[in-house]
Chain A
Amino acid sequence: MLAMDHGVVEEWLSEFKTLPETAVSSYAASLKDKGSLVPALYKVIRENYSDPLLLFFINSRQNTNSKCLFLSPVSFLSLSLSLSLSLSQEIVDKDGQSKLLSFTIPSLSKPSIYHEPSSIGSLALTEGALANHGLSRVVYSGPHLQRETFTAQNRFEVLTFLLLCYNASLSYMSSSSLQSLCQLSSRVCICGYPRQQVRRYKGISSRLMVTSEFLVQLITGIHFALCNGEVELGSRALDDVLYRAQLDLFPEALLVGNAIKSSLHGAALKANKEG
C-alpha cells in the first residue's frame, strides 16, 4: 500500500523537477485537483518520516482557494526549489518589488469605529500613555530577502515565514491538512526526548533544533485546528509543543501556549456552568 503511495509521490516530484520555471506556479495551483496525490503525500510523510526537515510547500497565493499541504522532501533539490518558489511569490508583489507587511497596533486614545476615547474614562495617565498619546503605531515586517539557498542559519527564518503564510490561510485548509499540521508539530517537538517513547513514535529519534518564534507560529495553527474540529489531535499537539518549550526554556512559546490552554479551560468551565 505504502509502496503505491510512494510511487505516486515520486512520479509527481519527478514531473515537478522537469518543469520550466514559469510553469511552476500553475503546476502548484493544479495540485488540489489531483485526487490521489494529496492523500498519498500525507501518508508518505506520516509513515516514512525519515528526513528531519519539513517542507512546507505553499502554492500560489494568487489563487486564494488553493490548498496548502506539508510534505517531507524526497530530495534536497526539490526542497530548495519549492522554497525559492513559494518565497519569491510571497515576498515580492506584482511589480517585483519587495513586499512590506504592515500591522497597525490600535490605540484606545484614538477614536475607532468601535469606541471614542472619552467614553473609555480614566485611561491610566502613565508616562508610557503620555508618550504614546495619539500615536497609532505601525509595525512593519520585511522587506524579506529572497533566499536562494536554505542554510542552517536561515532555516527557521524561512520556515517561520512559511508557517506565517500557512497561518494566513488557515480557514481554507482541509481538515487533513490541519491534522497533518498537528501530527508534524508533535513529532518535531518530542523526537529525541523521553516523551517520544510515551507516544511510541518510530523513525528518527534525534532531537531537532527549533526556535521559539517557529513554535509560536506552530501554536497559532494548532490553536485554529483545536477550535475547528481537531480537538484530540490539537490538544495533544499543543501539549507537546508546550513540553518542548519548557525544556528549551522558550518564553514566547510558553506565553502563547499557556494563554491558549487557559482560555480554552475557562471556556470549558463556562460551558459547564451554562449547560
Chain B
Amino acid sequence: LVGAPVYRLSMIAEAYATKGLCLEKVPMASPSLSSRNADRDQEIITCYEKSGDIALLYLQEVEKALSAGIQNRSPKPGPVTQEQELGYFLETGLQRAHVIHFKNGNLTRGVGRFREILRAVETRTTQNLRMTIARQLAEILLRGMCEQSYWNPLEDPPNHSPLDDPLRHTPHTKDYALSRRPRTYSGENLFCPQENTEEALLLLLISESMANRDAVLSRIPEHNNDRIISLQSASLVYDLLTIALGRRGQYEMLSECLERAMKFAFEEFHLWFQLALSLMAAGKSARAVKVLKECMRLKPDDPTIPLLAVKLCIGNLHWLEEGERFAKIVIDMGEKAAEFRAKGYLAIGLVYSLRATDASLRGMQEEYQKKALSAFQRAQSLSPTDHLAVFYLALQLAVSRQIPEALGYVRQALQLQGDDVHSLHLLALLLSAQKHYHDALNIIEMALSEYPENFILLFTKVKLETLCRGPEEALLSCKRMLQIWKSCYNLTNPSDSGRGSSLLDRAVADRRQLNAMTLPDFSDAETGSVHATSIAASRVEQALSEVASSLQSSAPKQGPLHPWMTLAQIWLHAAEVYIGMGKAAEATACTQEAANLFPMSHNVLFMKGQVAELRGNVDEAKRWYEEALSISPTHVKTMQRLGLILHQLQRYSLAEKILRDAVQVNSTAHDVWNSLGEVLQAQGNDAAATECFLTALELEASCPILPFTIIPRTL
C-alpha cells in the first residue's frame, strides 16, 4: 500500500469487497463444523474491514490530490470538483462489516467498527455515510448500552461484555494490520467522551449539523419526496437528542437545539410540541405559551395542550386572562376531553381564585370567589379520587372564611393523599383560625417530620411557637431555619451558579426552588405571593436591589434569587420575633441582615419602620412606611401601620383614606378594620366606627395565624 498510486488503492479496496461478497455466497458448512463456520465469518469480516479501511484511505488521497490540483492551477478554471460517488463495491466494504457484527450478536466489535470509520478524517464523499453511521451509533449508545457497560473510544473494549451474545465466542480485536491506515482526527486536547450519553450527544450534534446543512426545505411538488426524507432523518436526530439531553436534565440546551429544528417545522405538530415542552422545561414560560398556541392550532382536539398553557399562565407568568381563555377551551370540549375534563374545571377554578385575590373591589372579589368555588365543586364531582380538587375546594372555602366546611374537605383531601404538604398546612391554618393553636402546632410539627426542609411550614411554625411557647422557642426555630438554609443551598457544587446547569440535580435543586418560590412571601406577606401588584413591586425591588447591592461587596453575587429571598425572609421573621420581645437592638441587626440582601424590599422597609416605632421614633417610622408604600402601594400591613401613625399625629382624614384603601385591597384584614374604627371614632363618627369594630371582631374570630393565601395555588 505504501507508495501505491491512488487508483490502485481503489482497486485493492474493491477487490477485498468482492472477495467478501463471494465468500458470503459460498454455502455454509454443515452445522457440525461450527468452528469452520466461525472461521469463515471471520474471514469475511476481515475482507470487508480491510476493504473499508483502504476505501477510506483512497478517498482521503483523492481529495488531497484534487485540492492540491486546484491550488496549482488556480488561475485557470481547473476541472470542476465533481461530486464523487461511492461505488457499489466501496460502499459494500464500508457498510457490510458492522452489519455482520450485529447479526452475529457481537455488539462490541460493531461499535468498534463504527468508531473506526467515524474517527477517519471526513471527506466530501463520506459525509452522508458518516451522518448515518453517527446516528446509528448514537442509537446503539442510547438504546443498548448503559454507563456500566460503556468503554470509551480510546480504550480497549472489555473482554466480557453483557452486550454480546454469550453463545458465540468471537475475538474482540481484529486480526490484520495494514501498512497504511486512513488518517484519523488528531491533535492536542481532542475531546474524548467518557460516558455513553456524552458520546451519543457528540455524535448527534455532528449529525444534527449535517442534517441541518443538507436540509431540503423546498415545497414544490417535485421535491416533496426529498423533503420528507430530509424531515424524517432530521426529526429522528432531534428525537435522539431529546432522549440524551432529557436524561441529563439539560433542558436549556435542548430548547436551543429544538429551536434550530424549527426550519423543518412548518405544519409539523411533533416538532412544535416538543419545542413547546422543552421551553417549558427550561423555564422559558412566555415563549412556551406562544408555541403552545401554535400547537393548539395544529391539533385542536388535544386537551393536554391548553392545560399545559394554563399551568404556565397561572404560574410565575401570572397571565390570568389568557389562562382563563385556555381553561375555557378544555371545558368547551365537554365529554371529548374525558379524564382531562375535571382538570379543566380545576384549572379555571384556580384562575378565578387567583383573580379574586387580585381584584381590588370587594364585589369583584366575591363574584370570582363564587365562580372559583363552583368550578372546584364541579372538578371534585367529576374526579372524586383527585385529592387536588378536594384540596382546592377546601382552600377556597377557607379563603372565604367558611372554616368548618373547609375543615371537612381538607380532611377528605388528607384521606386521599395522607402526606400532602399543602393539605397538612391548610389543616394547621384552619385549626389556628379556630384558635386551636396547640393543635395547629402539632400538625405543623407532624408535617415537618415529613418535610423537614419546607420553609413555608417553618415560617408558620415560628408564628405558632411565638403564641404557644413564647418567643425564645420561636427564635430557636429561626436559628434552625438558618442551619437548614445553609445545608440546602450551600452545598458547594461547582456548577450551581445558574439554572438548569447541574444534571440530575435539577431534580433536587428545583424542588427546593419551588418550595422557596412560594414563600409567604417576600413580595407581600399579607396577601400572598400571587398578587398582581406585588409581582410588579417585586420586580421593582429586584431591579433596585441589584443597583443598590452592586455598590456594596457583601451582597450576594450571581445566581438564582430564591435562596436569597428565603434567607432574607428568615431574618425578617427573626426580627419580628425580637420586636415582639421589645428588643430593638437585636431586631435592628436582623433587619440589617435582610437589608444587606435586598436593600430596597418593601418588607425590609416595613420592618425598619416597625423597629423605629418600637424605639419611639414616630417620624422616622412614618418615613420608612412611606418609602415602603412607594415601592409596593398595596402592602396592607404598611398601610395599616401608617394609618395608625397618622391617627396619632391627628391627621384623621388622611388616615381614614389610607385605611379605607387598605380595606379595599384586603377586606378580611381585621386589624385594618379595627384601626379604621378607631380613626372614625376619633372623628366623632360613632355609628360607622361601631360597624367597623363589629366587622373586625367577626373577622378576627375566623382569622388564621397567617393568611390562607400563602399556600401556593398551582396546577
Contact = CB atoms under 8 A, between A and B. Distances in A.
B248 A170 contact: no
A113 B416 contact: no
Given A140-B502, A251-B277, A206 B146 contact: no
B518 interface: no
Contacts of A133: none
B240 A263 contact: yes
Contacts, number: 242
A269 B236 CA distance: 12
Q: Which of A112, A121, A156, A246 has the most CB of B within 10 A?
A: A112
Given A103-B198, A111-B191, A151-B451, A169 B508 contact: no
Interface stretch (A20-28, A35-43, A75-83, A223-231): A223-231
Contacts of A254: 277, 304
A247 B339 contact: yes
Nearest to A122: B213
B340 interface: yes
A252 interface: yes
Contacts of B308: 249, 251
A256 B193 CA distance: 22
B567 to A, nearest CB: 19
Contacts of B147: 167-169
A252 B281 contact: yes
Interface residues of A, number: 80
A2 interface: no
Given A153-B421, A209-B420, 10 more contacts: A103-B195, A113-B185, A115-B206, A123-B209, A139-B248, A153-B453, A164-B504, A171-B161, A206-B417, A216-B249
Contacts of A140: 493-495, 502-503, 505
Interface in B193-215: 193-195, 197-198, 201-203, 205-206, 209, 213
Contact of B202 (A112, A138, A207): A112
B503 A104 contact: no
Nearest to B278: A255
A205 B153 CA distance: 48
Contact of B235 (A164, A256, A266): A266
Nearest to A98: B491
Interface string A236-273: 00000000001101011011101110110011011000
Contacts of A100: 493
Interface string A85-104: 00000000000000011011
A139 B281 contact: no
A204 B218 CA distance: 55
A113 B212 CA distance: 21
B351 to A, nearest CB: 15
B625 to A, nearest CB: 38
Contacts of B144: 171, 224, 227-228
30 contacts: A103-B198, A104-B193, A104-B194, A105-B198, A106-B193, A113-B185, A114-B203, A153-B450, A153-B452, A156-B507, A157-B511, A168-B147, A169-B147, A170-B148, A171-B146, A172-B162, A207-B385, A207-B387, A214-B507, A216-B249, A223-B243, A246-B340, A249-B304, A249-B715, A252-B249, A252-B251, A259-B240, A262-B235, A266-B236, A267-B236
A247 B198 contact: no
Q: Which of A111, A123, A194, A252 has the most CB of B within 10 A?
A: A252
Contacts of A122: 213
Contacts of A112: 185, 190-193, 202
A262 B239 contact: yes
B162 to A, nearest CB: 4
A249 B307 contact: yes
A213 B504 contact: yes
Given A259-B239, A259-B242, A259-B243, A160 B416 contact: no
